[in-house]
Amino acid sequence: MLISKKHRVLFKRIFWVFVPAVLVLVVGVGALGFYMIHRLSHPARTALYGSPRDFQLILQKPMWYEEKWKNSDGTQAVGWLLLRERPAPVIILSHGYGSNRSDLLTMSFELWKSGYHVLLSDLRGHGESPVKWCGLGTYERDDLLSAIKFLKERKNEKGELVLDGRVGLYGIDLGGYASLAASAEDPIIKAVAVDSVFPDVNHFVNAQLKSGVGTNEMGNKLVDSQWTKRLAQLSMQMYLLRREDGEPALEAVSTATGRSLLFITANDTGVYDLMTRELYNAARGQKELVEVPHSHMSRLYEKEAAAYDARITAFFQQAIPVATDKKK
């Protein structure tokens, strides 16, 4: 069937009207997705406001070190390592999104006083990390496993391996997710404490987008739409060149064996409170849920910080107690 000249002209007009509009829409949507993920993966850096040096008079002698080690993707990690004089469990502390290792200094000192080695590092894209971007959880789990590999080979001044074969993990939101996800990858991890955590990277991205858009009804509907969620997911995979399948934190807790789990939540964390409770309900084995007045997603001060740190220390003392001379 031949198409008349009149119809051909009509088709051309329709083509040149609609196709450019569609292309502009597609490019615009793609650019919006990349812009959102770029902003989330480059949080504003906060400067370190302290170091273990602040406890120098209390420690009496240098028991901490500035450490550097390689991540599995070849990037470099930096942190502080507080050491005891003999082999002991190591507690690795991971700060939250938009924060840095300084926020966990007082907790690290309390754990050190209780007999543990303690490692504090800056997540990629945070603090003094030389990595310029944050992995939004897609790389942080592997970074944590690289830190454990580094600790397995670390020796003290006597030439002894510092690690006694047991590791404990603590983390806040992004750091908590990495801790839970990593806990299923290495049996040396015996205890995990997390504050305001989420089951997978997509939930985290959606929560961050909602907080960025605001709490008005239109903004929440936009972020909650399947279209926006799918756009963010695809943009994240393309931007970070890594796909995150399933719900790693949820899968880790639902298959947990031989590990103690502590979930910390607060009513003022909104969606993170709900996600933390869901993970707790899905967890198997030894687990505990604690509701605190305020999450460590924000900085804690004085009595509130002291009570919080004491609760974390008590958990690790019960889950992975430090060996005494009598036990040896």
pLDDT tens, position by position, 244-284: 667 799 999 998 788 999 999 998 899 999 999 999 999 99
- pLDDT tens digits, 69-109: 999 999 999 999 999 989 999 999 999 999 999 999 999 99
pLDDT computed for residue 25 by the predictor: 45
- Whether 271 contacts 202, CB under 8 Å: no
Query: Chain-wide mean pLDDT for the chain?
Result: 85
pLDDT computed for residue 109 by the predictor: 93
> Residue type for 138, please?
T
Percent of the chain whose pLDDT exceeds 70:
77
Q: Decide if pLDDT at 149 tops 60.
A: yes
pLDDT computed for residue 102 by the predictor: 96
pLDDT computed for residue 238 by the predictor: 73
Mapping DSSP onto H, E and C, the string for 36-48 reads HHHHHCCCCCCCC
Mean pLDDT of 304-311: 96
- Whether 174 contacts 204, CB under 8 Å: yes
Q: Would you list the domain boundaries of the chain?
A: 53-200+244-319
Class of domain 53-200+244-319: alpha beta
| 181, 184, 187, 192: CA torsion to nearest 10 | 50
pLDDT computed for residue 206 by the predictor: 85
Lookup result for tokens 């005891």: 84
- Whether 110 contacts 120, CB under 8 Å: no
> Residue type for 278, please?
E
Cβ neighbours of residue 82 closer than 8 Å, sequence gap 6 or more: 52, 63, 64, 108, 109, 112, 117, 118, 119, 120
pLDDT computed for residue 240 by the predictor: 77
pLDDT computed for residue 257 by the predictor: 80
Mean pLDDT of 308-324: 95
Q: Decide if pLDDT at 138 tops 60.
A: yes
Lookup result for tokens 């955590």: 197
Between CA 297 and CA 92 the distance in angstroms is 17
Q: Decide if pLDDT at 144 tops 50.
A: yes
Question: 10 Å Cβ neighbour count for 109?
Answer: 19
Between CA 138 and CA 322 the distance in angstroms is 33
Mean pLDDT of 303-323: 96
Q: What are phi and psi of 160, to 5 degrees?
A: -90, 145
Sign of CA pseudo-dihedral 177, 178, 183, 185 = positive
The residues pairing with 212 across neighbouring beta strands, listed in sequence order, are none
- pLDDT tens digits, 18-32: 555 555 544 444 555
The SS3 assignment for 237 reads helix
Most confident of 16-25, 42-51, 186-195, 218-227: 186-195
Lowest mean pLDDT among 220-224, 225-229, 315-319: 220-224
Q: Decide if pLDDT at 214 tops 50.
A: no
pLDDT computed for residue 236 by the predictor: 74
Between CA 200 and CA 28 the distance in angstroms is 27
Helices 105-113 and 302-319, interaxial angle, to 10°? 40
Beta strands 189-195 and 260-265 are parallel
Q: Decide if pLDDT at 223 tops 50.
A: no
Q: How many helical (H) and strand (E) elements, i.e. helices and strands, does the chain have?
A: 11, 8
Distance, CA of 276 to chain centre:
13
Between CA 93 and CA 108 the distance in angstroms is 8
- pLDDT tens digits, 186-211: 999 999 999 999 999 988 988 888 77
Cα–Cα distances (Å) from 311 to 82, 196, 254, 262, in that order, read 20, 15, 24, 10
